[in-house]
Amino acid sequence: MTWSATARGAHQPDNTAFTQQRLPAWQPLLSASITLPLFFCAGLAFIGLGLGLYYSSNAIKELGYDYTGNPGTGDCSLCGVADQDRAPPPSCRCAWNFSLPELFQGPVYLYYELTKFYQNNRRYGVSRDDAQLSGLQSALRHPVNECFPYQFSAKGVPIAPCGAIANSLFNDTFTLWHQRLPGGPYVEVPLDRTGIAWWTDYHIKFHNPPLVNGSLALAFKGTTRPPNWPVPVYQLSPDPNNTGFINQDFVVWMRTAALPWFRKLYARIRQGNYSAGLPRGNYRVNITYNYPVRAFDGHKRIILSNISWMGGKNPFLGIAYLVVGSLCILTGFVMLVVYIRYQDQNDEAEDQE
Amino acid sequence: MWRWVRQQLGFDPPHQSDTRTIYIANRFPLNGLYTPQKFIDNRIISSKYTVWNFVPKNLFEQFRRVANFYFLIIFLVQLMIDTPTSPITSGLPLFFVITVTAIKQGYEDWLRHNSDNEVNGAPVYVVRSGGLVKTRSKNIRVGDIVRIAKDEIFPADLVLLSSDRPDGSCHITTASLDGETNLKTHVAVPETTVLRTVANLDTLVAVIECQQPEADLYRFMGRMIITQQMEEIVRPLGPESLLLRGARLKNTKEIFGVAVYTGMETKMALNYKSKSQKRSTVEKSMNTFLIIYLIILISEAIISTILKYTWQTEEKWDEPWYNQKTEHQRNSSKILRFISDFLAFLVLYNFIIPISLYVTVEMQKFLGSFFIGWDLDLYHEESGQKAQVNTSDLNEELGQVEYVFTDKTGTLTENEMQFRECSINGIKYQEINGRLVSEGPTPDSSDGNLSYLSSFSHLNNLPHLTSSSSFGTSPENETQLIKEHDLFFKAVSLCHTVQISNVQTDGIGDGPWQASLAPSQLEYYASSPDEKALVEAAARIGVVFIGSYEETMEVKILGKLEQYKLLHILEFDSDRRRMSVIVQAPSGEKFLFAKGAESSILPTCIGGEIEKTRIHVDEFALKGLRTLCMAYRQLTSKEYEVINRRLFEARTALQQREEKLANAFQFIEKDLILLGATAVEDRLQDKVRETIEALRMAGIKVWVLTGDKHETAVSVSLSCGHFHRTMNILELINQKSDNECAEQLRQLARRITEDHVIQHGLVVDGTSLSLALREHEKLFMDVCRNCSAVLCCRMAPLQKAKVIRLIKISPEKPITLAVGDGANDVSMIQEAHVGIGIMGKEGRQAARNSDYAIARFKFLSKLLFVHGHFYYIRIATLVQYFFYKNVCFITPQFLYQFYCLFSQQTLYDSVYLTLYNICFTSLPILIYSLLEQHINPHVLQNKPTLYRDISKNRQLSMTNFLYWTILGFSHAFIFFFGSYFLMGKDTSLLGNGQMFGNWTFGSLVFTVMLITVTVKMALETHFWTWINHFVTWGSIIFYFVFSLFYGGILWPFSDSQNMYFVFFQLLSSGSVWFAIILMVVMCLFLDIVKKVFDRHFHPTNTEKAQLTETNSSIKCLDSMCCFSEGETACASVGRMLERVIGRCSPTHVSRLWSASDPFYTNDRSILTLSTMDSSTC
């Protein structure tokens, strides 16, 4: 008898909260009474943040100059005309003169900007060998197939660094000169060319191959430079910490941009007298014009900008916050009105019933 | 030769003859003319695969599914051409899905193999070469003589040769075959019954000729030709001598039988059939959506390809100096490039059709269906049965039902028969406390009679029951009545196939029943509950059936034992609707007792109070009682001779035996003298009225389909609330001709249109229905649709299925549900969209063939209104959400192509492409689709009208689908262009002036998308248990942790290090954080506004109901920490949370629970209809 009783109980489902689908649960409802305060609060918060962001972005100063050299656009047009053929074009020099009426708050960053340059083209983007760039010996001699047609030179020598990205390394150079007093001499403003690449890229991801007899050149023996480069990779800079694959310009370039217009950090101005910014006065940027962009209707710009905690000058965030915030409040009001009127109608309807 | 090939290929059936000839013990005739027939061995193979064919066969089967095939194609395309994503991105998920499915199927097959091996390897004893040989079950050949001991299961279909009883009978139970638990007696041919030892059996020379295997469990025809002393004796074999594989020997020490059907040809194996595939509406809409998405996918790919080539006409875009093509790329054919570009775009966008959708849906259905079995409200305590899910494919269909077709007996009623009344010789009696009381003029001195027959235990001492003054007053009447009663109750207690279980003794052969055995100790087993009720009633009255022993039936009439020789049983069949027995009374007289439906008995009667009885029967029927008429015929020995011969001929006939038997039966069952009628009550099940009422309020049309007679059916219909008193009941019965039927239908249609205020109920009977269905389907359907209740009586099983099919294919294509409990309901259960079996008294056949099996009809309301509603909401949201999240996922990818010259550059890294659906967004939706309760279950059950909110697949309507898709697109636009504008002129977003790259941009889009998609899920969730909290916030946290980890290491074996430290850099930017918040809020803003306005302007009934119950809800934090009722597994986490949050004191938990306890009690009084506001429906 007892046995049958337990047997019967054995079939009985467990009476637990889970099996009976009555786990304790919070059951929120998106009713107006909850969403209305939420909307107002969110709206106010967003407007507040928006204002903050907007002013923070507005405080950032940006100064730019298009030196593509389209005919009639100034000093660089001579160079621009020369740049009709494919790379490498003949070297050409031009300058950008500007004056600052007041202190350009530091630290100041020097960017170059390219447009209509598709670093995000897939064929371009895959044309690199990360193993080679990390200094792996085997990869140095045998670049991956993605690098083709910049994998081996015509003679069959492996190219280091291989691939289209490396081959198209931006090679214009800039120097900044400051004229303290009108008519005075131009003094070169020191440009800090370090710290422009991501720390991890520079220190970990990119490595030179191990030195042979203390010489980087020997380490790269048996490879050749990319066809567009005037110098091999180990001569990118005289500074041994900034040459080869860990040349910072190179590292910066190798981080391909998301959109067909992009800026890349060229240098930081933070040394000597210029650590607080660029003082007032006349300035000149001497440009070595090497990089051809007119072939694909591109533009080159040079930009001086200072930076806040949120980066460069971009009013989008502030405006967007303001818009969304106002929308929230507006919707809140509409809803409030609707809610009240609807409530009245409801009451009436109930009264009629 | 050619024939052999055709046979092997299955074109020709291997057996050409209609019969198989079996030489018992394989003793073939010695003359060489004989070519032995080949039979398969006794191996049962239920498994699908072998070790060798598992991989190819399983893969083949899996890739026959369209979705898998699609992904295989994508994968192959990726392998063949240069595509933007590595083949791993689609290969890995596909591999995962295929592997998981293969493992599951392999495991199931392994289990099947195991059970096959167990069955095939079971030891059996076979008589071979004069001795008993122990061998394995699979080695049994057709013709082997097998010995089965008590309580063993028959290893093959055997023809009984002998048992240890002298009469060669044995008892078996076929519970595992058809669920009938009663004991069945099977008998051997007299010539073989004496062969009770192996040695004796060895002398047997006999041949069995029988039909080829067929699936019908209850049909077997054959004959045994026994050669004895150079003489051939032919004996008929019927189902009563066939012991089916799977049945179990009972009450008998051992039997010998000869195997006639083996292995896959046994009736059990032939009855094993895979369930027909039913597809739910949700699945159908899912496929529609898939096609739409496929169109979107292909058009996106075409647009991209075309735009790519427009762009590429200019060389400066196609091949600028910094990005030159290879010779090979330049020289390849244009068309080929075009095609390969198209395919590449197809691969790039292929994630818009989510592979994980199928996996998730299947998991949801499989796991979700457990809740039905677990539900205590669907657990029937008396029988200890819980609800049973046979297929999880139809869970959501339970929420879509528009028509319920229900059987009456055993479904609406208990199928627990109680003898109530009888009419004997034109006088009506009622059974009150175990004695018969005459109705009509009630005798006033009734109290004096109460001592009689009042208690069973005193039965032996009782004087004759007719001494009760209830039966009459004058003594001379009394004797007359005694005789009539005698005969009536003898008929009742003899004309049946009831068995008696005797647990105390091993065999009935041990001795006659002891007289001291009180009737209360007798337990009757009957295949039909009516019979059982009648025999029990007769026992209470004093005519106790004690048992059948060999060919005699013993009846104790008021303590006096009488033995009747059972000469023949003319079994019940549903065409004749009656059964009879021919017995020889102790006096030597031979009687035929017949019992059957009044329509089948009365026309054959020539004597007795026919008219009065007919009136009584109608009266009984009006009360909702089931009636049976009893009649008898006294047979002279000459008549008996004729009968005996005809029966023998018919039974031994090999051809058209059934026809011949029917003729013989008709010949025998005539010229009967009516004894009277019995009325048995079949009690309504608990809460049937409320359930039907609730179904109707839910907008479900309830049809009752029954085999019962018209009056009974109507009265039950009325008593169970299917018909109302206020209803205008239309009748379409007894239609004889087509024209008449059409005319009647038109008339009914007119009446309905004239009078549309009143509700109409329609009664149709089987014959009229078949007429109506034959020619006037449309007219009939018009009438039916306008009736709120339809009752079909006198229905044959196939007619039930036909009615359902008719409704199914009617223009509205409604979803039908059939409920039934008996074997006669199987066809309708299988026909309906959803088949529900009631696990009742008439075996488990219905339950086994159903999609869901429940113990009681009343459980239907919870099954539909709560489980069905939940499952529907869950799966509908699941499907919509899946498409939504993949639109969100892929559209930015498409938009990005406009900015990368349609070069098929991916926005996200391959790992993210792969894991998005598998890891990052899979769990919240799965948990949602398992646990979501958008409204409290008890509200759903108390307000059946809420069921209308989800009718007609509303959640998956095109508008809803469009809303979700457009939402997905707009969200995708927000992610993409939000990030795009944030980049602006590509100013630095970092505090140190450094720049982001394309992977950072992609990560930003992906991060915003992941958060938005997850929070969107959170917005949909109304039921936040700790699990929901865990997976929702856990998914986001997991994404961040994973990304930091993935980006934090230079993966040694990966050739691309694109993502190295990208995510970390992304998060180190303040602007990005602000942008993420902004975009997420912007995305959800639209949706929230829409939800709030919807709720206020057109709230559905469900939403209204949600409002009324919010006060009982608990707080968010509580749901996170108070997650268990003291389950120890979670206690440590609970304590930790307690410390962290500091508000989860145990008292808090318990208070919370006690407060909600009455709310959740199991015996909630369901369906308190009075409180329901009918104004809302």
CATH number at residue B230: 2.70.150.10
The whole-number pLDDT of residue A124 equals 92
Residue B525 or B948, more confident: B948
How close A302 comes to chain B (CA, Å)? 13
| Residue A351 resides in a domain | no
CB-CB neighbours of B856 under 10 Å: 23
Centroid of chain to Cα B243: 28
State which residue of chain A sits closest to B1081, comparing Cα positions. Answer: A324
Burial of residue A174 (number of CB atoms within 10 Å: 0-12, 13-18, 19+): middle
CB within 8 Å: A148 and B933: no
Reference A114, options A263, A250, A313, A257; nearest CA is A263
The whole-number pLDDT of residue B1155 equals 36
How close A218 comes to chain B (CA, Å)? 26
State which residue of chain B sits closest to A42, comparing Cα positions. Answer: B1081
State which residue of chain B sits closest to A324, comparing Cα positions. Answer: B1082
State which residue of chain A sits closest to B382, comparing Cα positions. Answer: A8
Highest mean pLDDT among A223-227, B63-67, B315-319: A223-227
Task: Please tell me which of the candidates B385, B1002, B1114 has its beta carbon nearest to residue A24.
Answer: B1114
3-class DSSP string for B88-148:
HHHHHHHHHHHHHHHHHHHHHHHHHHHHHHHHHCCEEEEEECCEEEEEEHHHCCCCCEEEE
The whole-number pLDDT of residue B1024 equals 92
Tokens matching residue B596: 């059957």
| Residue A8 resides in a domain | no
Q: How confident is the model at residue B227 (pLDDT cuts 50, 70, 90)?
A: confident
How close A309 comes to chain B (CA, Å)? 5
Domain containing residue B433: 418-439+480-501+521-682
| Residue B1112 resides in a domain | no
The whole-number pLDDT of residue B1149 equals 37
Which of B829, B860, B891 is the last residue in one of the domains? B860
CB B232 within 8 A of CB B225: yes
Mean pLDDT in residue range A101-122: 91
Cβ partners under 8 Å of residue B445, min gap 6:
B469
Say if pTM beats, i.e. exceeds, 0.90: no
State which residue of chain B sits closest to A108, comparing Cα positions. Answer: B993
CB B851 within 8 A of CB B835: yes
Q: How confident is the model at residue A250 (pLDDT cuts 50, 70, 90)?
A: very high
Enter the DSSP assignment of A1.
Answer: -
How close A120 comes to chain B (CA, Å)? 6
| Residue A318 resides in a domain | yes
Q: How many whole angstroms separate alpha carbon B242 and alpha carbon B509? A: 21
Tell me which chain A residues have a C-beta less than 8 angstroms from the C-beta of B316. Answer: 295-297
CB B937 within 8 A of CB B866: yes
Residue A207, amino acid: H
Burial of residue B648 (number of CB atoms within 10 Å: 0-12, 13-18, 19+): middle
| Residue B1122 resides in a domain | no
The whole-number pLDDT of residue B470 equals 39
Tell me which chain A residues have a C-beta less than 8 angstroms from the C-beta of B1091. Answer: 30
Mean pLDDT in residue range B954-976: 94
Task: Please tell me which of the candidates B991, B1025, B1060 has its beta carbon nearest to residue A205.
Answer: B1060
Residues annotated within a binding site of B for ATP: 407-409, 531, 572, 595, 626, 706-708, 794, 800, 824-825
Task: Please tell me which of the candidates A30, A62, A130 has its beta carbon nearest to residue B1056.
Answer: A130
Element (H, E) at B188: none
CB-CB neighbours of B393 under 10 Å: 20
Name the 3-class secondary structure at B473.
coil
Are residue A182 and residue A280 in the same domain, yes or no?
Answer: yes
Are residue A50 and residue A180 in the same domain, yes or no?
Answer: no
Are residue B590 and residue B662 in the same domain, yes or no?
Answer: yes
Mean pLDDT in residue range B351-370: 85
The whole-number pLDDT of residue B65 equals 75
Q: What is the β-pairing status of strands B760-765 and B789-793?
A: parallel
| Residue A330 resides in a domain | yes
Q: pLDDT tens across B1055-1086, in order?
A: 678 889 999 999 999 999 999 999 999 999 98
| Residue B1167 resides in a domain | no
Q: Is the dihedral of CA B1126, B1132, B1137, B1143 positive or negative?
A: positive
Which of B234, B265, B296 is the last residue in one of the domains? B265
The full length of chain A comes to: 353
Mean pLDDT in residue range B125-152: 86
Residue B1045, amino acid: F
How close A258 comes to chain B (CA, Å)? 3
Enter the DSSP assignment of B279.
Answer: -
The whole-number pLDDT of residue A322 equals 96
| Residue B1079 resides in a domain | no
Name the domain count of chain A.
Answer: 2
Are residue A231 and residue A101 in the same domain, yes or no?
Answer: yes
On the question of pLDDT at B1138 being above 70, the answer is no
| Residue A165 resides in a domain | yes
For residue B354, say if its preceding peptide bond is cis, omega within 30 degrees of 0: no
| Residue A142 resides in a domain | yes
Can you name the residues that pair with B206 across neighbouring β-strands? B226
On the question of pLDDT at B503 being above 60, the answer is no
What is the tally of helices (H) and strands (E) in chain B? 42, 35
Dihedral angle of Cα B1080, B1082, B1086, B1089, to the nearest 10 degrees: 90
Are residue B657 and residue B704 in the same domain, yes or no?
Answer: no
CA distances, B525 to each of B252, B416, B848 (Å):
17, 13, 22
CB B891 within 8 A of CB B968: yes
Residue B447 or B213, more confident: B213
Name the 3-class secondary structure at B616.
helix
The whole-number pLDDT of residue B414 equals 79
Task: Please tell me which of the candidates B373, B997, B1075 has its beta carbon nearest to residue A255.
Answer: B997
Q: How confident is the model at residue B1167 (pLDDT cuts 50, 70, 90)?
A: very low
Q: How many whole angstroms separate alpha carbon A253 and alpha carbon A256? A: 7
| Residue B304 resides in a domain | no
Task: Please tell me which of the candidates A30, A198, A259 has its beta carbon nearest to residue B1095.
Answer: A30
Reference B1002, options B1069, B949, B1058; nearest CA is B1058
How close B1112 comes to chain A (CA, Å)? 9
CB within 8 Å: B991 and A307: yes
The whole-number pLDDT of residue B477 equals 45
On the question of pLDDT at B462 being above 60, the answer is no
Are residue A235 and residue A315 in the same domain, yes or no?
Answer: no
- End-to-end CA separation in angstroms for chain A: 60
Side-chain-side CA neighbours of residue B632 (13 Å): 27
| Residue B696 resides in a domain | yes
Enter the DSSP assignment of A147.
Answer: G
CB B815 within 8 A of CB B787: no
The whole-number pLDDT of residue B443 equals 42
Are residue A54 and residue A92 in the same domain, yes or no?
Answer: no
Are residue A155 and residue A286 in the same domain, yes or no?
Answer: yes
Tokens matching residue B1009: 């998308």
CB within 8 Å: B900 and A260: yes
Q: What is the β-pairing status of strands B388-389 and B183-187?
A: unpaired
Are residue A332 and residue A277 in the same domain, yes or no?
Answer: no
State which residue of chain A sits closest to B997, comparing Cα positions. Answer: A257
The whole-number pLDDT of residue B456 equals 37
3-class DSSP string for B307-373:
HHHHHHCCHHHHCCCCCCCCHHHHHCCHHHHHHHHHHHHHHHHHHHCCCHHHHHHHHHHHHHCHHHH
CB B676 within 8 A of CB B424: yes
Tokens matching residue A218: 């020997």
The whole-number pLDDT of residue B1150 equals 36
Are residue A202 and residue A326 in the same domain, yes or no?
Answer: no
Tell me which chain B residues have a C-beta less than 8 angstroms from the C-beta of A201. Answer: 1060-1061
Q: pLDDT tens across B866-886, in order?
A: 999 999 999 999 999 999 999
Are residue B696 and residue B677 in the same domain, yes or no?
Answer: no
State which residue of chain A sits closest to B1085, comparing Cα positions. Answer: A328
Highest mean pLDDT among A32-41, B717-726, B1021-1030, B1113-1122: B1021-1030
3-class DSSP string for B556-587:
EECCEEEEEEEEEEEEEECCCCEEEEEEECCC
Are residue B620 and residue B756 in the same domain, yes or no?
Answer: no
Q: Which of the residue ranges B154-168, B503-517, B801-815, B843-857 would you say has the lowest mean pLDDT?
A: B503-517
Q: How many whole angstroms separate alpha carbon B273 and alpha carbon B145? A: 29
The whole-number pLDDT of residue B220 equals 86
CB within 8 Å: A27 and B1123: no
On the question of pLDDT at B550 being above 50, the answer is yes
CB within 8 Å: A168 and B1027: no
Q: Which of the residue ranges A184-198, B913-927, B1006-1020, B1127-1141 would you say has the lowest mean pLDDT?
A: B1127-1141
CB within 8 Å: A25 and B1125: no
Q: Which of the residue ranges A12-26, B577-591, B842-856 would you say has the lowest mean pLDDT?
A: B842-856
| Residue B245 resides in a domain | yes
Which of B656, B682, B708 is the last residue in one of the domains? B682
| Residue B1139 resides in a domain | no
The whole-number pLDDT of residue B464 equals 40
State which residue of chain B sits closest to A266, comparing Cα positions. Answer: B994
CB within 8 Å: A12 and B998: no
Mean pLDDT in residue range B18-46: 77
Tokens matching residue B714: 């109507």
Can you name the residues that pair with B524 across neighbouring β-strands? B500
Residue A255 or B20, more confident: A255
Tell me which chain A residues have a C-beta less than 8 angstroms from the C-beta of B1023. Answer: 25, 27
Tell me which chain A residues have a C-beta less than 8 angstroms from the C-beta of B1026. Answer: 23-24
Task: Please tell me which of the candidates B379, B991, B1095 has its beta carbon nearest to residue A13.
Answer: B379
The whole-number pLDDT of residue B249 equals 87
CB within 8 Å: A24 and B1127: no
Q: What is the β-pairing status of strands B145-149 and B169-173?
A: unpaired
Tell me which chain B residues have a C-beta less than 8 angstroms from the C-beta of A131. Answer: 1055
Q: How confident is the model at residue B985 (pLDDT cuts 50, 70, 90)?
A: confident
Q: Does the annotation mark B407 as catalytic?
A: yes
DSSP B410-422: TTTEEEEEEEEEE
Residues annotated within a binding site of B for Mg(2+): 407, 409, 821, 825
CB within 8 Å: B1024 and A118: no
On the question of pLDDT at A114 being above 70, the answer is yes
The whole-number pLDDT of residue A48 equals 95
Are residue A210 and residue A321 in the same domain, yes or no?
Answer: no
DSSP B928-988: HHHH--SS-HHHHHH-GGGGGGGGGGGGGSHHHHHHHHHHHHHHHHHHHHHHHHHHTTT--
Reference B58, options B96, B27, B98; nearest CA is B98
On the question of pLDDT at B1142 being above 60, the answer is no
CB within 8 Å: A25 and B933: yes
Mean pLDDT in residue range B117-139: 85
Mean pLDDT in residue range B715-734: 83
Mean pLDDT in residue range B699-712: 83
Are residue B677 and residue B792 in the same domain, yes or no?
Answer: no
Which residue of the set B157, B407, B765, B909 is catalytic? B407
On the question of pLDDT at A119 being above 60, the answer is yes
CATH at residue B604: 3.40.1110.10
Q: How many whole angstroms separate alpha carbon B979 and alpha carbon B1074? A: 11
Cβ partners under 8 Å of residue B385, min gap 6:
A11, B379, B839, B855
| Residue A130 resides in a domain | yes
The whole-number pLDDT of residue B1159 equals 38
Are residue B597 and residue B697 in the same domain, yes or no?
Answer: no
Q: How many whole angstroms separate alpha carbon A277 and alpha carbon B46? A: 84
CB within 8 Å: B1069 and A22: no
Are residue B587 and residue B622 in the same domain, yes or no?
Answer: yes
Residue B1083, amino acid: C
Calculate the average pLDDT of chain B.
Answer: 80
Domain containing residue A53: 43-60+310-338
On the question of pLDDT at B1009 being above 90, the answer is yes
CB within 8 Å: A31 and B1095: yes
Burial of residue B767 (number of CB atoms within 10 Å: 0-12, 13-18, 19+): middle
Are residue B673 and residue B708 in the same domain, yes or no?
Answer: no
How close A236 comes to chain B (CA, Å)? 19
On the question of pLDDT at B1140 being above 60, the answer is no
On the question of pLDDT at A213 being above 60, the answer is yes
Are residue B558 and residue B613 in the same domain, yes or no?
Answer: yes
How close A75 comes to chain B (CA, Å)? 24
Tell me which chain B residues have a C-beta less than 8 angstroms from the C-beta of A62. Answer: 987
CB within 8 Å: B316 and A296: yes
On the question of pLDDT at B559 being above 80, the answer is no
Q: pLDDT tens across B137-149, in order?
A: 888 888 888 988 8
Tell me which chain A residues have a C-beta less than 8 angstroms from the C-beta of B1153. Answer: 24
Calculate the average pLDDT of chain A.
Answer: 86
Are residue B615 and residue B706 in the same domain, yes or no?
Answer: no
Tell me which chain A residues have a C-beta less than 8 angstroms from the C-beta of B905. Answer: 120-122, 125
Q: How many whole angstroms separate alpha carbon B301 and alpha carbon B318? A: 19
Q: How confident is the model at residue B1116 (pLDDT cuts 50, 70, 90)?
A: low
Burial of residue B312 (number of CB atoms within 10 Å: 0-12, 13-18, 19+): middle
Q: How many whole angstroms separate alpha carbon B708 and alpha carbon B765? A: 10
Centroid of chain to Cα B208: 39
Name the domain count of chain B.
Answer: 3
CB-CB neighbours of B194 under 10 Å: 13
Q: What angle do CA B527, B528, B532 make, to 5 degrees?
A: 100
The whole-number pLDDT of residue B841 equals 64
For residue A149, say if its preceding peptide bond is cis, omega within 30 degrees of 0: yes
| Residue A11 resides in a domain | no
On the question of pLDDT at A344 being above 70, the answer is no
Are residue B626 and residue B706 in the same domain, yes or no?
Answer: no
Highest mean pLDDT among B299-303, B773-777, B915-919: B299-303
Q: What share of chain A is helix, strand, coil (3-state, %, to 5)?
A: 40, 20, 40
CB within 8 Å: A316 and B899: no
Reference B346, options B883, B897, B919; nearest CA is B897
Cβ partners under 8 Å of residue B1176, min gap 6:
B943, B945, B1101, B1104
Residues annotated within a binding site of B: 407-409, 531, 572, 595, 626, 706-708, 794, 800, 821, 824-825
Mean pLDDT in residue range A41-59: 94
Mean pLDDT in residue range A212-232: 90
Are residue B133 and residue B234 in the same domain, yes or no?
Answer: yes
Dihedral angle of Cα B466, B472, B478, B484, to the nearest 10 degrees: -70
**Phi, psi values for residue B400, rounded to 5°:** -120, 5
Mean pLDDT in residue range A88-93: 68
Q: ipTM of this complex > 0.90?
A: yes
